[in-house]
Amino acid sequence: MTAAHTRSVRIAPSLLAADLGRLKEQLATIEAGGADWLHLDVMDGVFVPNLTFGAKVIETCRTLTALPLDVHLMVVEPEKYFESFAKAGANILTIHAEAAPHLHRQLGRIKELGCKAGAVVNPGTPVESLRDVAADLDLLLIMSVNPGFGGQKFIGASVEKIARARALLDAARSSAALEVDGGVTRDTIHGCWAAGADTFVAGVAVFGAKDPAAEIHALRARCVQAGVQG
């Protein structure tokens, strides 16, 4: 496992849990509050049983924040959206191994468009399915809930999977971000960090908090705090 002191913590609040009626204010709050990335969940109602948004919302967020836009595509045929999302201002495009049979080619296409390329696995998909593209990844995302909805309970087995993901990236000498998505809270974040994750999506934990900025700070502090049990 990578030594904890060589990793820095990234907190990526998820737009899914934000109050869209106050989008400008919500983004300003997290940016001023120390968020590192903004996580955007694109869902097509086919790959997952929920629908969210597409290029237009990404473009709007681009005009409202300087934070890197971390776009998570929960869609079938993700390649259909690469170009429009890149044009809209996405910085990272992350695609599901389950929805991308030509993963190697699609990661290459994302990079050609000037974005960072990420791959993600559902709770039921072994992270080892990403072994042969490990060196091509800018980001590896472990789903710690079944994707589709915010506010779900963290799946405990994800911690051991994060450790395997960390070993896999280290073996490939990859400096890819290792991100966790779903049910990340003050109670679950430390175990993920200790297992080797460095980037944490947090929807309800941040936007559901009375003080989102304080919550970002608390989540970050929980990672490095000695003696905290994950």
Among candidate residues 36, 41, 136, 138, the one labeled active-site is 41
| CA–CA separation, 218 and 11 (whole Å) | 11
Among candidate residues 36, 44, 181, 198, the one labeled active-site is 181
Q: Pick from Zn ion, ligand DX5, none: which does 168 bind, CB < 5 to 8 A by kind?
A: none
Q: Based on CB atoms, which residue is closest to Zn ion, 108 or 148?
A: 148
Question: Tokens 């049979």 belong to which residue?
Answer: 101
Q: Based on CB atoms, which residue is closest to ligand DX5, 38 or 134?
A: 38
Q: Pick from Zn ion, ligand DX5, none: which does 148 bind, CB < 5 to 8 A by kind?
A: ligand DX5
| Cβ at position 130, least distance to Zn ion in Å | 17
| CA–CA separation, 217 and 148 (whole Å) | 26
Pair 128, 163: CB distance under 8 Å: no
| Cβ at position 141, least distance to Zn ion in Å | 8
| CA–CA separation, 22 and 20 (whole Å) | 5
Pair 10, 201: CB distance under 8 Å: no
Residues in touch with ligand DX5 (CB under 6 A):
14, 16-17, 39, 41, 72, 145, 147-152, 181-184, 201-205
Q: Based on CB atoms, which residue is closest to Zn ion, 36 or 41?
A: 41
170 is catalytic: no
Q: Pick from Zn ion, ligand DX5, none: which does 230 bind, CB < 5 to 8 A by kind?
A: none
| Cβ at position 30, least distance to ligand DX5 in Å | 13
Q: Which residues contact 183 (CB under 8 A, 6 or more apart)?
A: 144, 145, 152, 153, 154, 155
Collapse the DSSP code of 27 into the 3-class scheme (helix H, G, I; strand E, B; otherwise coil) and give the result: helix
Residues in touch with Zn ion (CB under 5 A):
41, 72, 181
Q: Based on CB atoms, which residue is closest to Zn ion, 42 or 195?
A: 42
| Cβ at position 105, least distance to ligand DX5 in Å | 24
Q: Pick from Zn ion, ligand DX5, none: which does 174 bind, CB < 5 to 8 A by kind?
A: none
181 is catalytic: yes
| CA–CA separation, 210 and 207 (whole Å) | 8
Q: Which residues contact 190 (CB under 8 A, 6 or more apart)?
A: 222, 223, 225, 228, 229, 230
Q: Which residues belong to the active site?
A: 41, 181
